Amino acid sequence: MLSYNKLKKLIEEKQNILLIDVREEDELKYGVIPTSKHLPLSELQEALEIDKEEFKRRYGFILDRNKRIILYCRSGSRSGQAAEYLKSLRYKAENYPGSILEWSKYDDNVEGY
């Protein structure tokens, strides 16, 4: 299971991961995990149906099936759903179950809510 320490190490070592925040736009005011990209769970299915250029224009990154994708939300529930959905489409996706609630205990720039 992915913990705060493991994820922090992956980020610090600049590992080849894609960290995605699946919370809604209004939740971002509480802070984000460094290096993460934003793709709300509510838009995930539709986002995967648009072409790559439009996806990159809209979200600022590309989803790559060969890259390790780590998802998070507030508590790990929505990101767990997103990870399962992406895995069903053969992406290398996994959930960070601690999500913002855990991260906020260690990072003063992130507020648990």
HEC states along 61-109?
Answer: CCCCCCCEEEEECCCCHHHHHHHHHHHHCCCEEEECCCHHHHHCCCCCC
Q: What is the pLDDT of residue 73?
A: 98
Nearest residue to 59 via CA among 44, 70, 81: 44
Q: What is the pLDDT of residue 107?
A: 97
Reply yes or no on whether 12 is catalytic.
no
The answer to whether the predicted template modeling score (pTM) of the entire model surpasses 0.95 is yes
Residues of the chain scoring pLDDT < 70 = none
Contact 17, 92 (CB under 8 A): no
Q: Which two tokens stand for residue 45?
A: 């299915």
Catalytically annotated residue among 73, 82, 86, 100: 73
Rounded to a whole number of angstroms, the CA Rg of the chain reads 13
Contact 98, 3 (CB under 8 A): yes
Q: What is the pLDDT of residue 4?
A: 98
The CATH H-level superfamily of 4-103 is Rhodanese-like domain (3.40.250.10)
Please work out, in degrees rounded to the nearest 5, the angle formed at the alpha carbon of residue 2 by the alpha carbons of 98 and 90: 110
Q: What is the pLDDT of residue 17?
A: 96
Q: What is the pLDDT of residue 92?
A: 98
Distance of CA 84 to the CA centre of its chain: 13
Q: What is the pLDDT of residue 48?
A: 96
